A and B are shown apart, each in its own frame.
Chain A
Amino acid sequence: MAPASEDALTKVSTDAATDFVQSFYPALQSNRGSIASFYNQTISMILFNGNVVADGKAVQEIFVNQMPPAHYEVQSFDCQIINQAYPTPTATGLKAPNETTLRDKSILVLVSGYVRFGESRDLPQRGFSETFVLVPNPSADGPKGKRKREWLIESQTFRLVV
C-alpha cells in the first residue's frame, strides 16, 4: 500500500475518535447493557481511579450493577495516531505491514470533561481525564444486525481530577 496522505490519516483518526466519544459516553449514561461491545478481545489495561478492571464485560457488570445514574459531559478531546501500521489480528494471524489498509491504525484519545454521580442537578460536577487506545475491530460483522463498531478500546485509564 502506498503511504496514505496526511488528509486521509487525519480524517480517519479524528472521525474514529469523534464517533467513539459520541457513542461511548451516552452508553455509560443510558445504554449500559451495550458497554461490553466497546471493548477489544485483548486488553492492555483498564483502570478506573487506579482500580484494575479485567475486561469490557467486567466494566459493563460494574456499570449495570454498582454505578448510580451518572451524567457525563465531554468538554474537550483530541486524538493522535499511534501506529500507522497497526498489526490487526485476522483469522489467519496478524496482518503484515504490507497488507494493512488505511484503517489498520491504533489511535490515542484524550478526553476531558465532568461527571455527576446521581440524578440531581445539584450534585457536584467532578472533573475527569480519560485516556483511551483504540484499535480496529478485527471481526467482520456487528452483533446480530447491529452496525459494527469500527474501533474498539484496547486500553482505558479513567481518573477524577477535580
Chain B
Amino acid sequence: MLKMNGFSFAGAPLTIQTYDPSANGMDQTMISEVSRNSGAPSTADTKSKMTAILSKRYFQPQKLLNLSKLGSDPDLLAMGIFDSTSTESKFFPALMKVWEMNFDSSTARREAVESVSLADNQLANITVVTTLAQSFPDLKNLDLSNNNFKDSQSLIGWRWKFRNLEFLDLTNSPFSADPSFKDTMLKWYPKLRFLNNTEVRTAEEVAAQKKTPIPVQAPHFQDESQIGENFIKAFFAGYDSNRTELLNSVYDNNSTFSLNVNTTAPRAQQTETAAWDPYIKRSRNLLKINHLPARMSRSFVGTDKIREMWNSLPQTRHPDIGGHPEEWLIECFPMPGLPDPSGQSPTGVGGLLIMVHGKFEEINGPKVDLRSFDRTFILGPGGGMGGIRVINDILCLRAHGGHEAWMLEQPIVPTTQPGQPPIQPPVAPVGAPDGYGMPAPGKPDAQIQQEQSVMQISAKTGMTLPYSEMALSGNGWNLDAALKNFEELKAQGQLPPDAFLSGSV
C-alpha cells in the first residue's frame, strides 16, 4: 500500500500514512471472526462481500451512506450475519473497518460522507452501532428514525460525538415522545438545526454561539518605518527557502529561539492532525517540561545553535502574504526597555513586538501536512540587515485551526433550505460489481461520479450496467438526455432483451 503514496484520490493528493500493524491485526481479527461465525470461506471473501454491500448503499453525489433496513438485506441474510448474536454484534464494527479500508487518506474519508441513515433497524440502543461515531466524526445528517430508542440513556454513548450534527431524525422512536426530548438533543448537539424534520435552531442562532464577548477587530499594526512589515515578508519567505541565509541576515549570538507544541489545541473541522514526531523532542511546553536541564537544552541561543535546530526541522511552505492576506493575522507595536547591543543606553532601547498567526504546509517528501502556528518576535536595533536584530523568536505549533476566528463578522447566509430533509435515500442499484460507485485508492472522483450515474440510470430503466453506461456516454453523461433517449429506443423496440437485467421486463 505504501508505494501508492502520491497518487491523486478524489481530486486531492493522496497521502498514505504508516499503517499501525496492531490496528491492522485487530481489523483482520474482527473480519475473520465475522467470516468464521457466518460460515463464509475466508476473510478476504467477507471483506469483498462487505465492500459490495457498502457500494450499493453509498450514494456519492449525496455523500450518503444508507445503512437502513440492514436486517432485511438479502446479501447480509445470505452471509448468515444475523444467524447468531455473536456475528451480529461483530458485524457492524467490521463493516465500518471495511469502509475505512477503502480510503487511504483520512481527509478523503471524512469528506466522502455527510449523511448516514440507520433507519428501520430495530435498535433499542446504540451498542452495536457505536463505532459509527469513530468512522464519521464530522457527520452532519443522521437518520435514526423507526428504531426503538426509549430514552436519552439508550443514546448516551453518542453524547459527546458528532459535534457538527445539524440534522437528526428520531421519528417513530419512543424517546421522541418524551417531554425532555427536544431540550436534551439541543443541549447535546450545539449545531443541531433540524430535529425530526422540524427546525429547532436557526442558522443565526448557531452562529451566535460562536460570537465572542470580545468583538473581533482588524489587526492592530503599529509599525515604525515599515521595519515590521519588511521583516515579516522577508522572514517567512526566507524560512521556507533558505533558513541559513535568513539566520545570517538578522540573528546574532544573543538571539533566542524556542518552540512549543500544543498537541491538544482545538482544530478546524474536517482536519486530522499529523503526528508531532519531528518536533516533540524539541518542544518546550513548560506545562510538561518541568526539569531545569530539559528546559535549558530546549532553548537555543545564538546563530549556530538555532541553525542546527532549524535544519533539523521539516521543510515548510507558508502562504504568500500578499496573495492570501486573509490567512494571516499580524499585530505589531513598539516596545521599550530592550537590550542595547552597544551598551550605550542604560535605560534600554526601543524596538518592535510582532505577533504572527497563520498556517503552513509541512513537507515530508511526498507527504504534505497542514498545521497552524503562533509566532512572536521581538526586534531591536542591531547589526543585521536594515540595522535590526532578532532578540526573541518564540514559536507555538498546533493543529490546523483555519482563519475564520479572526475574520471580521459578516452577515450569515443559511446553508440548508428550511424544511427540506437532507437525507433522501435514492433507489438502490442492482447487479453492481464489488466497489462499483465506491471510492477506492487511486480511483478518480470523475469515475466514481460516472459509476454513480450509471447505477442511477440502471435503477430507473432496469437496464444492465454496460447498457446504462452506453446510454450515458452516448448522451454526453447527461442523465436526462440518457433517460429520454432510452424511452425513445424502448418505444421503437430497438433495445435487445439482454440490455435488461433479468426479471426487470
Binding site for B on A (CB under 8 A): 6-7, 10-11, 14, 17-18, 21, 44-45, 47-52, 66-68, 74-87, 94, 96-97, 106, 108, 110, 112-114, 117, 120, 122-127, 129, 131, 133, 135, 154-155, 157-162
Contact with A along B320-339 (1 / 0, CB 8 A): 00000000010101111111
Given A51-B214, A76-B262, A131-B355, decide whether A161 and B405 contact each other with a Cβ distance below 8 A. yes
- B296 near A161 with CB under 8 A, answer no
Question: Which chain A residue has the least Cβ–Cβ distance from B211?
Answer: A117
Given A127-B405, A161-B329, decide whether A76 and B287 contact each other with a Cβ distance below 8 A. yes
A112 to B262, CA, bound (A): 7
Which of B3-11, B63-71, B263-271, B438-446 has 4 or more CB atoms under 8 Å from chain A? B263-271
Q: How far is the CB of B401 from chain A (nearest CB, A)?
A: 4
A–B Cβ pairs within 8 angstroms, 6 of them:
A11-B292, A44-B335, A47-B331, A127-B398, A129-B396, A161-B329
Judge whether B57 is part of the interface by a CB distance below 8 angstroms: no
- B215 near A44 with CB under 8 A, answer no
Given A110-B396, A161-B374, decide whether A155 and B335 contact each other with a Cβ distance below 8 A. yes
For chain B, residues 285 to 306, give those with C-beta under 8 angstroms from any C-beta of chain A.
285-287, 292, 295-296, 299
Please tell me which one of the listed residues B214, B217, B287, B378 contacts residue A77 in the complex, with CB atoms under 8 A apart: B287
- A79 near B286 with CB under 8 A, answer yes
Residues of B within 8 Å of A49, CB to CB, are 212, 214-217, 406
Please tell me which one of the listed residues A51, A77, A85, A161 contacts residue B260 in the complex, with CB atoms under 8 A apart: A77
Residues of A within 8 Å of B266, CB to CB, are 114, 125-127, 162
Residues of A within 8 Å of B406, CB to CB, are 49, 159-161
A86 to B343, CA, bound (A): 12
- B378 near A82 with CB under 8 A, answer yes
Q: How far is the CB of A20 from chain B (nearest CB, A)?
A: 11
Residues of B within 8 Å of A6, CB to CB, are 296
- A14 near B295 with CB under 8 A, answer yes
For chain B, residues 237 to 265, give those with C-beta under 8 angstroms from any C-beta of chain A.
256, 258-265
Given A18-B286, A45-B333, A162-B405, decide whether A51 and B215 contact each other with a Cβ distance below 8 A. yes
Residues of B within 8 Å of A158, CB to CB, are 214
Binding site for A on B (CB under 8 A): 187-188, 190, 209-210, 212-220, 256, 258-268, 283-287, 292, 295-296, 299, 329, 331, 333-339, 343, 346-348, 353, 355, 357, 372, 374, 376, 378, 391-392, 394, 396, 398, 401-402, 405-406
Please tell me which one of the listed residues A80, A108, A113, A124 contacts residue B262 in the complex, with CB atoms under 8 A apart: A113
- Tell me the interface secondary structure of chain B in the complex: mixed
Q: How far is the CB of A50 from chain B (nearest CB, A)?
A: 3
- B374 near A14 with CB under 8 A, answer no
Additional pairs, 20, CB under 8 Å, beyond known A50-B220, A94-B347:
A44-B333, A66-B213, A75-B264, A76-B287, A76-B396, A76-B398, A78-B286, A79-B286, A82-B338, A82-B378, A83-B348, A87-B347, A123-B190, A123-B209, A124-B190, A124-B209, A127-B401, A158-B214, A159-B405, A161-B357
Residues of A within 8 Å of B218, CB to CB, are 50
Q: How far is the CB of A17 from chain B (nearest CB, A)?
A: 6
- Tell me the interface secondary structure of chain A in the complex: strand
- B296 near A126 with CB under 8 A, answer no
Given A51-B217, A127-B265, A131-B353, decide whether A117 and B286 contact each other with a Cβ distance below 8 A. no
Residues of A within 8 Å of B376, CB to CB, are 108, 110, 131
A78 to B394, CA, bound (A): 8
Residues of B within 8 Å of A155, CB to CB, are 333, 335, 353
Q: How far is the CB of A152 from chain B (nearest CB, A)?
A: 13
Please tell me which one of the listed residues B258, B296, B331 contacts residue A159 in the complex, with CB atoms under 8 A apart: B331
Residues of B within 8 Å of A67, CB to CB, are 213-214
- B216 near A160 with CB under 8 A, answer yes
Question: Which chain A residue has the least Cβ–Cβ distance from B405?
Answer: A160
Given A87-B348, A127-B401, decide whether A162 and B188 contact each other with a Cβ distance below 8 A. no
A110 to B353, CA, bound (A): 12
- B331 near A50 with CB under 8 A, answer yes
- B296 near A10 with CB under 8 A, answer yes
Question: Which chain B residue has the least Cβ–Cβ distance from A73?
Answer: B264
A112 to B396, CA, bound (A): 7
Q: How far is the CB of A146 from chain B (nearest CB, A)?
A: 25
Given A127-B265, A155-B353, decide whether A78 and B396 contact each other with a Cβ distance below 8 A. yes
Give 7 closest A-B pairs by Cβ, nearest first: A50-B217, A162-B401, A76-B262, A129-B374, A112-B262, A78-B260, A127-B266
- A78 near B258 with CB under 8 A, answer yes
Residues of A within 8 Å of B265, CB to CB, are 75-76, 112-114, 127, 162
- B287 near A75 with CB under 8 A, answer yes
A157 to B219, CA, bound (A): 11
Q: How far is the CB of A153 from chain B (nearest CB, A)?
A: 13
Residues of B within 8 Å of A78, CB to CB, are 258-260, 284-286, 394, 396
A66 to B348, CA, bound (A): 37
